Structure 1
Amino acid sequence: MAKAAKIELVCSDCGMNFTRWQGQCRCGAWNTLVEMRIPKSTSKTAVTRSAKTAGYAGLIGGGSKKINEIAASDAEKIPTGIGELDRVLCGGVTRGSVNLISGDPGAGKTTLLSELVANMSKTSASLYCTAEESLSQFKNRVDRLKLDYNEDNLYLLAETSVEAIIEELDNHNIKFAVIDSIQAVVTENANGSPGSPSQVKSSAQALTQYCKQNNVTMFIIAHVNKNNEIAGPQTLVHIVDALLHIDTNDGQIRTLRANKNRFGDIDTVGIFRMCERGMLSVDNPSEIFLSGSSTESPGSTITCIRKGNRNLLLEIQCLTTETEAEFPQRVCVGLNMNRIKMLTGILRKHTKTKIFHDTFFNIVGGLRIDESETCIDLALVSALLSSLNDFIIPRNTCIMGELSLNGDVRPIDSGVPRVKEAAQHGFTEIVIPYRNYHKSMEGLGANIHPVKTIHELIKLIT
């Protein structure tokens, strides 16, 4: 007689199990516990399951070995033909790796991977498995993007069963595959509906096991929740080799970042531009974030930020107008409002600047600046004073530095690479924190102006 199924409550956010219902999970989420029925395994089933998962990382049998008996080998990198993706993956995708890519709806996950699978089909048999749309929809996208592919090596599959997907991979000797998406596929080895914690975990484990044992490279698309985090159990992130995330901005700019990478670092950021031809790699992103205007006007300042290990030049614009309301407005696009309020408070306290105006801030190119990016403080203050007092900051000037509450200019990280980036783009006047100055900056062909306080900055730009 079959044993009764065991009932457990599983958090849909983190995958933690509970024996009875409670309102809040230990991860902090409320009302996320879902009832799951788990059949009790007999000893025979446990042995069978253990045999199936043997060789999970690609090596079947053989037992343990001494470390000196194992030959070290470098992971083989495959260029994808997409410059910014290769940059994020440190030279290309690793053969036999399983990579997870996430992002908001409309971020460009399917668009990017459609181009990727088309490029990979030129060298090996490739499969795109779509569980969320028809094959004709995918073919229409390929034709619209005018992708170049090898028609003999590119296979399309509309399937939700993990076992059927693996069978197709075997039948056609596929070496590169895309699964769209992990929340839409199901496996016979787990209970629950598609997207449930048990199904997501078991499906990812089965696909990863097959890829490791057969040296198949795979990209898996994952949905995100309202907090822009991967939906489903956190164990999904631990199973895969790399986790890529696409951030969207207010405009067409997309940034690709590796939050996990077993075969490289996670400091590199890829910049893409979404257009009718798909996700285009931006080799020189500074050109996008600079207006390119030849006319000089008050309220415009150039600064340098750091995205991962890349230095990006961008233009900050500020407009101040006399207010027609009882209280002046503070509007910013791509910036943190709390940071703006703090900087205006510093100006009022230390420079006696009175700001009874409507103030508008904007980042050229639609980039969104994180609150932790404090190196733009001096540029924000300079743009505000420039518009308020109607004077022009020359377009050959680049200003960077953090401002403290007592009016001192604090140092920023990676000062030398930022200055080199500005000098390479033709900026001849560069303002930096005093403690960031280094002798190596002298031979770059630019005049370096170290400043200690906000008073020195104002004296320099006015």
Structure 2
Amino acid sequence: MAKLKKRYICQECGYESPRWMGKCPECDQWNTMVEEVTNPKKAYGNFGGTIINRPLTLKEVTIEKEERFSTGMEELNRVLGGGVVPGSLILIGGDPGIGKSTILLQISSQLSTSKLKVLYVSGEESLKQIKLRAQRLDTNSDSLYILAETNMPIIERSIEEMQPDVIMIDSIQTMYQPDITSAPGSVSQVREITGQLMHVAKEKGIATFIVGHVTKQGSIAGPRVLEHMVDTVLYFEGERHHTYRILRAVKNRFGSTNEIGIFEMKEKGLEEVKNPSEMLLSGRPIGSPGSIVIPCLEGTRPVLIELQALVSTTNFGMPRRMATGIDYNRVVLLLAIMEKRLGMQLQNQDAYVNIIGGLKIDEPALDLGVIIAIASSFRNIEVDPTLVAIGEVGLTGEVRSVQFIEKRLMEAKKMGFKKCLIPKSNMKGLAIKDIEIVGVENLSEALQWIF
């Protein structure tokens, strides 16, 4: 029998040490080193079975068209890159109550109705609890099998007997391998279980969805290697007390990581939002200073967002800056540009910038809209409600060009906007009717045209 080894493992980053330490030298977290007793590691290579691998030249490797099957949800297909690839390992993370288990059961229902055999394994709910949630979601299929189990050998035996097309694991932190003495959810358990699921998925060509819990910092709990082992990492964003949810890919070996899917949580589960621009602009105030609409691009999809700014005189020696949905440092930089290039005295003003709807946008094309919103609130003058603005702003106050300008303008036109302020360098070759397009070279020219 192999000798058991004792070691101390950081539960935040997975750092291993032969002795206990109060502070992890890798992630600098305190009191995260936990003693674990483990067996020698197993090997999970040779996904093809018993055939011994040999090196091949690049010309010898043949590929076929990537087979995908639809999840039945267009928003999810978009985020995954067109559908689910057989044999892929997909990790879904998000805050508690955000809707991870709900979307997993909805995906299972959609796939089972398309003649695919689905095994839903839950370590957090009993069979009756899953049945009650399935009734609420109107889920009832003969091809959907549910299993309430956390013991990995039993789960593997069920997979071997059933030979499903898709496996759902809810969640990875509740599963355990009896050979490892550490508690479920520990670094060793999560690494071992993920390795076994990866072996099953690749060897048998079974698409596997895994739910992962997140830490207080917003990252998926467990070792960082978990995100490296899987093929796709999806994050659910949004406030659980609000109805809208955003599904974003942060890693995808089979598609782009720029796409997002937008859902709305309703009584019967998550529903796709077909027109996110209309959703994000609903309830927009008319005639209020500090509000402007900006056409952004999320992957290949143009989205109109409402950005609001509030500027008020500070009561303290140091003015307060706050940004929600946009990079804080970018807002501070733009405020400095406004003071230097436009002569606005903002050093004694509190400034708050917010993107409505819970979206997080990091493209520099928001710069011009942010400055216009702040100037509108500072001067207490409203912006034309039929106007959209877009452009990157340099440190000298120039307005620089942005990509895919026609796609952005067409979305603004579709939503009924009549005027658009864009960089002058983007004016070449534009031929869009029924919308007034104005090109500007710098901030002074832009604000003079608006106000």
Q: TM-score, normalised by structure 2?
A: 0.88
User: For residue 7 of structure 2, what is the aligned residue in structure 1?
Assistant: 8
Aligned counterpart in structure 1 of residue 208 of structure 2, from 207, 218, 221? 218
Most deviating of 78-87 and 3-12: 3-12
TM superposition shift of 1:158: 0.8
The alpha carbon displacement at 1:292 in A equals: 5.8
| Change beyond 3 A, Cα 1:143–1:351 | same
Judge conservation of contact 2:10–2:24 (CA < 8 Å) in 1: no
Change (3 A) 1:71 1:348: closer
Q: Structure 1 CA distance, aligned partners of 2:49 and 2:204?
A: 10
Q: Does 1:31 align with 2:31?
A: yes
Looking at structure 2, the residues matched to 454 and 285 of structure 1 have their Cα atoms a distance apart, in angstroms, of 30
Change beyond 3 A, Cα 1:17–1:295: closer
Give the conservation status (yes or no) of the 8 Å contact 2:234–2:250: yes
Tell me the distance in 1 between the aligned counterparts of 2:328 and 2:192: 43
Answer with 414-423 or 261-270: which moved more.
414-423
Determine the structure 2 residue equivalent to 1:439.
428
Report deviation, 1:460: 0.8
The question of whether the paired residues in 1 share the 8 Å contact of 2:119 and 2:166 is answered with: yes
CA distance in 1, matches of 2:211, 2:412: 37
Question: Any idea what SS the aligned residue of 2:430 has?
Answer: helix
Structure 1 match to 2:108: 117
Q: Does 1:89 align with 2:80?
A: yes
Q: How does 1:130-169 map to 2 (within 5 A)?
A: 130-147=122-139, 149-150=140-141, 152-169=142-159
SS of equivalent to 1:440:
coil
Alpha-carbon offset, residue 380 of structure 1: 2.5
- Alpha-carbon distance in 2 for matches of 1:260, 1:332: 26
CA distance in 2, matches of 1:71, 1:373: 38
Q: Secondary structure at the match of 1:93?
A: coil
Deviation string, structure 1 residues 435-459 (Cα, Å, up to 9, x no partner): 3x15332345433222222110111
SS at match of 2:110: helix
How many residues align? The count is: 445
Given that 1:189 and 1:202 are in contact with CA atoms closer than 8 Å, whether structure 2 keeps it comes out as: no
* Equivalence for 2:302: 311
Partner in structure 2 of residue 209 of structure 1: 199
1:428/1:173 CA distance change after superposition, 3 Å: same
* Residue 198, structure 1, aligned to residue 197, structure 2: no
SS of the aligned residue for 1:129 comes to strand
Contact 1:269 1:309 in 2 (8 A): no
Q: CA deviation at 1:363?
A: 3.2
382-391 vs 228-237, which deviates more?
382-391
**8 A contact 1:11–1:25 mirrored in 2:** no
In the alignment, what sits opposite 1:461?
Answer: 450
Q: 1:403 aligns with which of 393, 400, 409?
A: 393
Tell me the C-alpha RMSD between the 2 structures: 2.9
**Quick check: 1:188 aligned with 2:187?**
no
User: Which deviations, in whole Å up to 9, do the C-alpha atoms of 1:134-185 show, x marking residues without a partner?
Assistant: 22222221222233x31x2111111001111121222233221111111110
Secondary structure of the residue aligned to 2:233 is: strand
The match for 2:46 is 55
**Mapped contact 1:14–1:232 kept (Cα < 8 A):** yes
CA distance in 2, matches of 1:415, 1:113: 36
Q: 2:306 aligns to what SS in structure 1?
A: strand
1:424, 1:441 → 2: CA distance?
Answer: 16
Q: Is there any run of 5+ residues in structure 2 with no aligned partner, and where? A: none
Q: Among residues 81, 103, 119, which one is paired with 2:94 in the alignment? A: 103
Distance 1:405 1:262, change over 3 A: closer
* Structure 1, unaligned runs of 5 or more: none
| Equivalent residue letter for 1:16 | Y
Asked if structure 1 preserves the Cα contact closer than 8 Å seen for 2:37 and 2:180, the reply is no
Q: Go from structure 1 to structure 2 and tell me whether the alpha carbon gap of 1:393 and 1:165 turns closer, same or farther (over 3 Å shift).
A: same
* Structure 1 residues 288-347: Cα deviation after superposition (integer angstroms, max 9, x where no partner): 1113669544433111223333321112234567x6957787666545555445444443
Q: Distance in 2 between matches of 1:63 and 1:339?
A: 51
Of stretches 200-209 and 210-219 in structure 1, the one that deviates more from structure 2 is 210-219
Give 3-state SS (helix, strand or coil) of 1:140's partner.
Answer: helix
CA-CA distance at 1:93 after TM superposition:
0.8
Match status 1:128 vs 2:127: no
Between the aligned partners of 1:360 and 1:17, the Cα distance in structure 2 is 43
Cα distance in 1 for partners of 2:2, 2:328 equals 59
Q: Deviations over 1:238-264 (max 9, x none)?
A: 322211111224733222122222222
In 2: Cα distance, 1:459 partner to 1:373 partner: 25
Q: Aligned in 2, Cα 1:54/1:401: closer, same or farther, shift over 3 Å? A: closer
Work out the CA distance in 1 between the residues paired with 2:169 and 2:238: 22
Amino-acid identity (%): 35
CA distance in 2, matches of 1:162, 1:185: 6
The corresponding residue for 2:249 is 258
Provide the rounded CA distance (Å) in 1 between the counterparts of 2:223 and 2:284: 48
